[in-house]
């Protein structure tokens, strides 16, 4: 350390200032390199997170649809499990079911629509699950909340 101080003291004031500026520039470049590396790693991690999240949601939706499709044969033969199957489908599609009325020849479901694509998917899944075809579709507003009533018939 003393050799370094002696080296600096032996230089003229102009050379000392130039050495100081060079050291400061090198430190700035190192700091900028470190920050740039952090930003690029953050962008890469963010992209990987979005891809993993998308893959997870895709697999989860597929698993839920597969699970509900394996229940189809059981549900068609047992009306008692139909309500549970419809609740599972609604949960997958992110909808809230208010009422389910099932008979041997018809099915009526009242639910709160979230968006059009989820509502359409829910209606198709219930039709596939129950084996009934959609007969009527009503959109009502109760207490400021929209409510869809779908009626299915054999």
Contact between residue 133 and residue 150 where contact means Cβ atoms under 8 Å apart: no
Q: What is the predicted pLDDT for the residue at 77?
A: 61
In a domain, 103, yes or no: yes
Residue 87 in domain: yes
Same domain for 137 and 91?
Answer: yes
Kindly state whether residues 78 and 141 are assigned to the same domain: yes
Domains in the chain, number? 2
pLDDT tens-place string over residues 39-96: 999 999 999 999 999 999 999 988 888 876 666 666 666 666 788 888 888 888 888 8
- Asked if the structure places residue 122 within a domain, the reply is yes
Tell me, what CATH number does 127's domain have? Answer: 3.30.70.60
pTM of the complete model beyond 0.75: no
Q: Are residues 46 and 117 in the same domain?
A: no
Report how far residue 137's alpha carbon sits from residue 154's, in angstroms, rounded to the nearest whole number: 15
pLDDT at 51: 95
- Residue 35 has a pLDDT of 95
Q: How confident is the model at residue 103 (pLDDT cuts 50, 70, 90)?
A: confident
| E strand segments, 21-105 | 96-102
């Amino acid at each position: 350390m003393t050799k370094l101080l002696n080296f600096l003291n032996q230089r003229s004031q102009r050379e000392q200032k130039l050495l100081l500026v060079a050291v400061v520039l090198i430190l700035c470049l190192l700091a900028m390199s470190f920050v740039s590396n952090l930003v690029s790693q953050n962008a890469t991690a963010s992209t990987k997170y979005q891809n993993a999240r998308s893959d997870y949601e895709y697999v989860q939706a597929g698993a839920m649809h597969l699970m509900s499709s394996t229940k189809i044969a059981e549900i068609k033969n047992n009306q008692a499990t139909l309500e549970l199957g419809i609740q599972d489908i609604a949960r997958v599609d992110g909808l809230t079911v208010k009422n389910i009325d099932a008979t041997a020849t018809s099915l009526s479901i009242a639910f709160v629509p979230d968006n059009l694509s989820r509502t359409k998917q829910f209606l198709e899944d219930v039709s596939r699950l129950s084996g009934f075809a959609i007969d009527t579709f009503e959109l009502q507003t109760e207490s400021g909340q929209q409510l869809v009533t779908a009626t299915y018939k054999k």
